[in-house]
Chains A and B, each alone.
Chain A
Amino acid sequence: MLASRRFWAFAAVAAWALLALAGPVFAPYAYNHQDRAAILIAPCRDCAAAAPGTAGGAHWLGTDQFGRDELSRLLVACRVSLLLSLAMAWAALLVALPAALLSVGSAAADGALRWLGELTRSLPWLFMLIAVRAALPLDSPRWVILAVLVALFAAGSWAVPAWVLRGAARDLLRRDFITAARAMGGGRLYLLRRHVLPNLAPLAATYFALLFAAAATVEVSLSLVGLGVPPPLPSWGNMLLPLKDIALASRAWWLYSPLLVLVPVVTCLNLYAFSQARRRTG
């Protein structure tokens, strides 16, 4: 049962990865193509009859407030958001893992990282994010905003995984096979590469999935404070942004379409993390 759940979660994530890579190829319109004659039209009932690509043509998922095709934007947004979340999760793990190993290696680093971890967990992140956005010039290039987003996510979410990985690494170093490997003449780097990292990998994979899921939702939330993916490039976050407007949120139901992808992706990632953790603990 668990094995199959794990399989399905993995298969679903793989399918979305494929969608992210190949999806834009199937987009009927360019993501930034505006059809001024078709602003905020609902998904058509007889799309098959209308010819796509022409003015007033088929819009399977309707159009947004600028007359852009929702389906085309969603397909591109999948690529943007999945890649961005991947980068955010990697960045967080790349801070957490070395931090964990460092704190196992030296008592001084352990103290310092513990203190830093407590600090990051007690900061009022929402206000900090707004402050960061305020400090950035309005016309910052897209890559600066994306880099800031990745860095902020890493800075805000490394502490918990680092703490857990540190504990696991400490347990690991007390195991007999580490002593046995040292008795065979293994040095520090050797132990790290051949015994510590491979044994930490399943736990790191669990946290990677959790961070990936968190990153996807964080990107959506940060769009609200202007730190998401800058338009016109679509992302799940900035596609949902127009729903800030009550009138749109209550009438243009098709603008919720990113949730069709976001919710299953996040759910599958969490499921994967959960089954991985279950498997690890037996």
Chain B
Amino acid sequence: MAARLEVEGLTVELRAGGHRRLIVRDLTFAIPGGAIVALAGPSGSGKTLTALSLLGLLPPGVRAAGQARFRADSDGEPVNLLAAGERRLRRLRGEQIAWIPQETLAALDPRRTIAAQMREALPRACPRREARRQMEALLADLAIAEPNRCLASYPFQLSGGERQRVLIASALLPRPRLLLADEPTTALDGSAAAQVRALFRAAATFFDMAILLITHDLAVAAALADAIVVLHEGTLAEAGPAAQLLAKPASEYTRALLAASPVLGARAASEIAP
């Protein structure tokens, strides 16, 4: 069975005024349906641009090359996301491939209510009441205390954690086949983060969703991902099943990243100590 997403030799390059810089170099990984794969690495390692390249939404001056084969169904024809035209991509975005942006305040239109913006995630044909019911239910699942109040609010009226959950809900609403989640739990407290993780796991299991979890924190990856891809300065440092990679990191860089994580680092230290 072919994976939902197969990224092969992905290269992302910034070109500005005759100057070139490789941001991601020859990255290869795959996400099967129903699996959660973490893309871990420090800030500036090219994680976010990797996600944007899959959506065809790279900022001006940034180009991607390579292959990124996306299959909506395991026996379907693959689409190369890096070579597909804008019209093709637009049909895939949202409904098939959803994105959870990292910057919660910037990613919401300041002049429109949460309800109006979440509504965008559902097909236009969806009846008003049904849309409302789905939005409220999903926000409640994400531990939003008063979904009604939240939906009637403007982005600036919500806390960072609430906004993050609104963005998560918007991405999950259409039940996409592939979810690109960029640091989805950074603004959340422990229990809300646990709830989001549970929801991601449920979405993967029950909707056969493939999830790419982008994070700078190996502890987040350890708590949720089936497999981890470690990115270092745009190149693949190490990749493998989560348990194996965390227990026996092969690369020097992964070891450093592990040591830097307050949770995992402490655990590693206690395991070493007698």
Contact = CB atoms under 8 A, between A and B. Distances in A.
Interface of A: 174-177, 179-187, 194-195, 198-199, 201
A183 B120 contact: no
Given A180-B101, A186-B120, 9 more contacts: A175-B106, A176-B106, A177-B107, A179-B52, A183-B93, A184-B98, A185-B91, A194-B120, A195-B109
19 contacts: A175-B106, A176-B103, A176-B106, A176-B107, A177-B108, A177-B109, A180-B99, A180-B167, A181-B120, A182-B90, A183-B94, A183-B101, A184-B170, A185-B92, A198-B109, A198-B112, A199-B110, A199-B111, A201-B111
Interface string B107-127: 111111000100011000000
Nearest to B118: A184
Interface string B37-63: 000000000000000100101010000
B95 interface: yes
Contacts of B91: 185
A94 to B, nearest CB: 22
A183 B112 contact: no
B94 A184 contact: yes
A174 B108 CA distance: 13
A180 B100 CA distance: 8
The 5 closest A-B pairs by CB, nearest first: A185-B94, A176-B106, A183-B99, A184-B94, A185-B93
A181 B109 contact: yes
A194 B121 CA distance: 13
Interface of B: 52, 55, 57, 59, 90-95, 98-99, 101, 103, 106-112, 116, 120-121, 167, 170
A88 to B, nearest CB: 28
Overall SS of chain A's interface: helix
Contacts, number: 61
Nearest to A172: B109
Contact of B121 (A174, A184, A187): A184
Contacts of A186: 94, 120
A194 B94 contact: no
A184 B93 contact: yes
Contacts of A182: 55, 57, 90, 93
Nearest to B120: A184
A224 B106 CA distance: 51
Residue with the greatest number of chain A CB neighbours at <10 A, chosen from B109, B111, B121, B170 = B109
Nearest to B123: A185
Contacts of A184: 93-94, 98, 120-121, 170
A278 B189 CA distance: 36
Given A184-B121, A198-B111, A199-B109, A179 B57 contact: yes
B81 to A, nearest CB: 13
A185 B95 contact: yes
Contact of B108 (A180, A198, A199, A201): A180
A181 B59 CA distance: 14
B223 to A, nearest CB: 25
A65 B228 CA distance: 91
A183 B100 CA distance: 9
A226 B52 CA distance: 60
A57 to B, nearest CB: 55
A183 B57 contact: yes
Contacts of A195: 109, 112
B172 to A, nearest CB: 12
Contacts of A181: 109, 120
